[in-house]
Structure 1
């Protein structure tokens, strides 16, 4: 089975489906709470007008992929009669259990309302006319709803299935070369740029919110194999909403910019940055988070925070706060140091491989068996975790990485680059 990521192809596959057999009415989704009902009805109105409907009988469960605060996600097989089936990802809305007439508590109503607000944000991005077909943003290809004895009528979204999973797990692969890593991070930056062009802030940029797909558009001059798509828009913020009320940047604490965490310094320049509009500051927060994503992706890291940096009993967030108040741009300095170390390791490996292929060993002629074993053991240790053989060191790429993180990870908003400067820096030399 293969997954297809071209939205036009997917749209054509679902064009024959219809919601005529399942007419939607407000009563169909009534939960008994007016605010919850209004949010849910808004969501269904959006997807019903923008996406094709697929009936649940065309979907067959394969495996569970995970769950978040708003959706549970399954890998399922979609197939119309007479057509070859395809794997898709189905995101079912998390609903409160049917309670047999028992009223929800105030806390339960508040949680339901918050969850539906996040879902509404997501579908607003997924159905945005300028974004729904963007190659670097995940797309919704259909919607549906099904009766559920436990949760009542449950709406769901059908998305392209990602066989490679999230960037968080995929970037730890040992054989992923530097060129692919650079393209993947550039894809993420392009996705953020598309959102910012439409006055939308992602609000939670991190490796877990990026999905990786195969790159099917082959060009003889293009050396890439994968495509990254920015996903999970439940924390998205829309500039037009700020006209009615103030919205807050949520994000994930470890990937949030210092100002989102509430860390500030009493400096003249920081006072100047306070004159920047709230929405522009939130765009800058997206850019800071992207710098951390870039850092982790290039260095194969599970976390950009190394355990050795932590004091006894200190949390990762505690380390970030201590770094912020100890010295300006400590995280930026650590990122550049880490990238330089990665470059040095790759160049060392390539140098040893070059000597080996030429019959030159870093030992005297006619070495003993013990010395040869020592050499090859050292070579294996050095190669572990680095790029695959045949991926040349790319000094130009590392220079671009350092320039990019220097734009992203500035603590002071007034010195931080915007997404357009970031894309320009990261794409230098890339055609």
Structure 2
């Protein structure tokens, strides 16, 4: 992974992207996604959004630029049919560089399942794709840290593609300090393992490979049988 990251610095696409509708975006937990156009093709433009809440302040405890640099460097090094394709970044659209990736018309796996209601064999194909994508990350010693249906896209041929690497953790990394740190913001409650919940005894939980597998199991339940899928047993405060 270290060699891949050195060889594949994300390209600057500033001046090559237009965003026809600035008033329309898809909101996420930490960023908004806009539909852009590059060379007559649609692309996804991910712009970070910082709001004054305790969770976001904790997440941005480290340098914003360092976190963004980590996500871009890791994402640009990934090449796999079950990982969303990263194209580069642009500046001048917000306070921080915005990340550019392929726009997948079918949306997230949750949106796709709700809209299409595919048969069981296609659902199993999505499950395999998600599993292969996560296996690829783990083989590179990358922990995703926030695996959930909204972080899985469906491409034009119906393959699952993992996305959103803002909370990745690199295991056994010897690179710059910015690439080794972890965040006290530990993903979406519904899909994260019990050991990642912040408590008095565990104020800075660390994402693990095992935690990714737990999240994968939750995602599989929802993809395989959404009507009877995973539901949280506890109401979180």
Short-chain TM bin: 0.7 to 0.9
Match of 2:74 in 1: 125
1:394-409 equivalent positions in 2, closer than 5 A: none
TM normalised by structure 1 equals 0.44
Per-residue deviation, 1:297? 0.7
Match of 2:194 in 1: 258
3-state SS in 1 of match to 2:231: coil
Per-residue deviation, 1:69? 4.8
Match of 1:232 in 2: 164
3-state SS in 2 of match to 1:186: helix
Which of 15, 18, 28 in structure 2 is aligned with 1:68? 28
Change over 3 Å in CA distance of 1:65–1:254 after alignment to 2 = same
Match of 2:125 in 1: 183
1:14-413 equivalent positions in 2, closer than 5 A: 50-56=9-15, 58-62=17-21, 64-79=24-39, 85-94=40-49, 111=60, 113=62, 115-128=64-77, 131=78, 133-146=79-92, 151=94, 154-173=96-115, 175-215=117-157, 226-241=158-173, 247=182, 250-261=186-197, 282-301=208-227, 304-305=230-231, 315=235, 317=236
3-state SS in 2 of match to 1:127: helix
Change over 3 Å in CA distance of 1:51–1:260 after alignment to 2 = closer
3-state SS in 2 of match to 1:141: strand
Distance, in Å, in 2 between the alignment partners of 1:157 and 1:241 is 23
RCO greater where, 1 or 2, for CA within 8 Å and sep 6 or more?
2
**Cα deviation digits, residues 253-295 of structure 1 (max 9, x gap):** 21111222369xxxxxxxxxxxxxx98x810110011001000
3-state SS in 2 of match to 1:59: coil
1:210–1:231: 8 Å Cα contact kept in structure 2?
yes
Distance, in Å, in 2 between the alignment partners of 1:227 and 1:210 is 10
Distance, in Å, in 2 between the alignment partners of 1:91 and 1:118 is 14
Per-residue deviation, 1:180? 1.0
Change over 3 Å in CA distance of 1:54–1:246 after alignment to 2 = closer
Distance, in Å, in 2 between the alignment partners of 1:51 and 1:124 is 7
1:188–1:230: 8 Å Cα contact kept in structure 2?
yes
User: Number of matched residues?
Assistant: 219
**Cα deviation digits, residues 127-151 of structure 1 (max 9, x gap):** 22xx2x21111121132212x6xx5
Q: Give the CA RMSD over aligned residues.
A: 3.5
2:17–2:36: 8 Å Cα contact kept in structure 1?
no
Distance, in Å, in 2 between the alignment partners of 1:166 and 1:59 is 23
Give the structure with the larger helix fraction.
1
Q: Specify every segment of 5 or more residues in structure 1 that has no aligned partner in the other structure, as ranges.
A: 1-45, 80-84, 97-106, 216-225, 264-277, 319-431
Change over 3 Å in CA distance of 1:179–1:198 after alignment to 2 = same
Distance, in Å, in 2 between the alignment partners of 1:181 and 1:109 is 36
2:10–2:72: 8 Å Cα contact kept in structure 1?
no
Change over 3 Å in CA distance of 1:108–1:48 after alignment to 2 = farther
